[in-house]
Amino acid sequence: MLLACTPLGFWVYSHPSVTVSRVRVDAQAEGTLPVIVALDVLNPNDYTISATRFELMLLLDSLMIGRLKRDGRLVVGKGAAATVALPIEPDHDASASRLEAFRTGVHRFTVQGRATFATPFGKQDVRFAQEGDLVFGAPASPTSAPADPDASP
């Protein structure tokens, strides 16, 4: 008899990868949070997992922009990828006038965080960190959808 999925006794868990897809800063945003970090989540497993919590901190050019702690649910199918856009409340040092400096040009970003995943093996915490240079003022990638503040991560 052939089974379509891996027998439970042979399931193996591999941590999903979490990487920064983009960072958007809009100091002139009205009615929405001005900073959004989009994360790409890749599930290398042969079963579906769900991200149930995201925590992260964002620095731009060594300035603390903000922190995020958010519960929600992002389902990632087996061997699939998903992108989640997370709005961040700016830190008190990241005033609108300071955020305006990130409107254009190349700026250094640093993101450190943790994602919690629900798996067949229980909850798994995955730490992630990434830094690099981003070009601000360029059009958003066609694969980057704007954040829906009413949607769960």
Residues belonging to the chain:
153
Does 124 fall in a domain?
yes
- Position 97 scores a pLDDT of 86
Q: What is the pTM of this model?
A: 0.80
- Position 141 scores a pLDDT of 46
Instruction: For the chain, list residues with pLDDT below 70.
Output: 1-11, 138-153
Does 87 fall in a domain?
yes
Q: Are 26 and 34 in contact (CB under 8 A)?
A: yes
Does 116 fall in a domain?
yes
Does 152 fall in a domain?
no
| Rounded distance between C-alpha atoms, residue 67 and residue 8, angstroms | 38
C-alpha distance from residue 89 to each of 12, 71, 153 (Å)? 37, 15, 16
Does 24 fall in a domain?
yes
- Position 62 scores a pLDDT of 95
- Position 139 scores a pLDDT of 58
Does 112 fall in a domain?
yes
**Containing structural domain, residue 49:** 15-135
Does 108 fall in a domain?
yes
- Position 8 scores a pLDDT of 53
> How many domains are there within the chain?
1
Look up the CATH number of the domain holding residue 94.
2.60.40.10
Amino acid making up residue 119: T
Does 57 fall in a domain?
yes
